[in-house]
Amino acid sequence: MNTILAPYTQKTLQLKNHLVMAPMTRSRAIGNIPNDLMAEYYHQRSGAGLIVTEGISPSPNGLGYARIPGIFSGEQVEGWKKVTGAVHAGNSKIFVQLMHTGRIAHQANLPAGATVVGVSAIKAAGQMHTDSMGMQDYPIPVALTTEAVKATIAEYVQAAKNAVEAGFDGVEVHGANGYLVEQFLNPNINNRTDQYGGDYKARASFALEVVQQIADAIGKEKVGIRFSPFSTLGDLQEYDADEVHNTYVYLAQELNKIGITYIHIGFSPKIPQKTFDAIRTAFTETIILCNGNTPATAADTLAKGFADVLAFGRPFLANPDLVTRMEQNAPLNEVDFTTLYTPDAHGYTDYPVMAVA
């Protein structure tokens, strides 16, 4: 416990402790604009050394879910200034997670003029919630042309610049959970015949171009990325295990050359140890490990040597004062799963905190 609560200092990342608040979709951004309620929510959790925001779209086309925020308009930038100011007042750092949902979207959740787009014109199986129409099947996305891919990369870069203007300490590119970046990586979804399709190195080129251009625009020390190797979220479906391994090792090698500040890995028992080991060998900066971390297991997980810092999701969701509870070995609140994505304060900013002695 002393290790997880101690300051973390790496060449490009200095945090007051080894705890990261993981990105978690909460759907409180009415009109896709950050608000005072969201500022309160993030401020409450500024015991974390680093907060990674919920997924924030770099484009109107990427707002796949109901009430998720964007960072492509001036009004959104002004709203995020409230959030970053509140987090910095708690002496925490905050990175924005740039999340373009790609085909995991529905037109009813998008603003006027926006389009559900994807790597290829392949629809995802299943349904998603819309506020206006209830549950709806995923549509067939409009496949991005080569020119549209480059325009989408430019949207990421502009969003990163907007994030710096809004006071964020950096950006995390969401390359996991079946969203646009991971859709490019997966051969079951990516059937392109241009330079963004083909073998695993070609399929990785979208992610690497996004990261390189953001690093050029705002500084490589302000850039991280999130991956979920071997995940099938978003109807990605499994593919050859050796190819998955090679994909993520190659990405780690190339990202190390760019010099970004961290890779954020979503743990899964499907990930073989050889893949963890190869990523750790290839990438010399900070690695964050997410999924399944608890106060009881944190020290042992860090001691294994793969991760430098740990991200906590649900424990931070239900415990605004998680760090204090860890310091005092106090019990944790349970998550109310019925209020994860509702539009108001209930189940968001009203979780109880420990009484101050």
Maximum alpha-carbon separation in the chain: 64
Query: Under 8 Å CB-to-CB from 134, ≥6 apart: which residues?
Result: none
**Burial category of 246 from C-beta neighbours within 10 Å (exposed 0-12, middle 13-18, buried 19 and up):** middle
- Sequence letter at residue 275: T
Q: Give Cα separations from 109 to 69, 114, 129, 160, 322 (angstroms).
A: 12, 10, 9, 23, 33
Task: Give one DSSP letter per residue of 65-96, joined into a string.
Answer: STT--B-SSHHHHHHHHHHHHHHHHTT-EEEE
* CA–CA–CA angle 195, 61, 146 (5° rounding): 15
- The backbone torsions φ and ψ at residue 175, rounded to the nearest 5 degrees and listed phi first, read -110, 30
- The backbone torsions φ and ψ at residue 353, rounded to the nearest 5 degrees and listed phi first, read -110, 160
Residue with the two structure tokens 């059937």: 191
**Burial category of 89 from C-beta neighbours within 10 Å (exposed 0-12, middle 13-18, buried 19 and up):** exposed
Hey, is 260 helix, strand or coil?
coil
Active-site option among 42, 65, 156, 179: 179
Q: What's the sign of the alpha-carbon dihedral 215, 163, 18, 315?
A: negative
Task: Give one DSSP letter per residue of 101-138, joined into a string.
Answer: -TTS--GGGSPTT---EESSS-PPSSEEEETTTEEEEP
Nearest 10 degrees: CA dihedral of 270, 290, 329, 346? -110
* CA–CA–CA angle 99, 102, 105 (5° rounding): 100
Q: Does the annotation mark 239 as catalytic?
A: no
Residues with catalytic function: 179
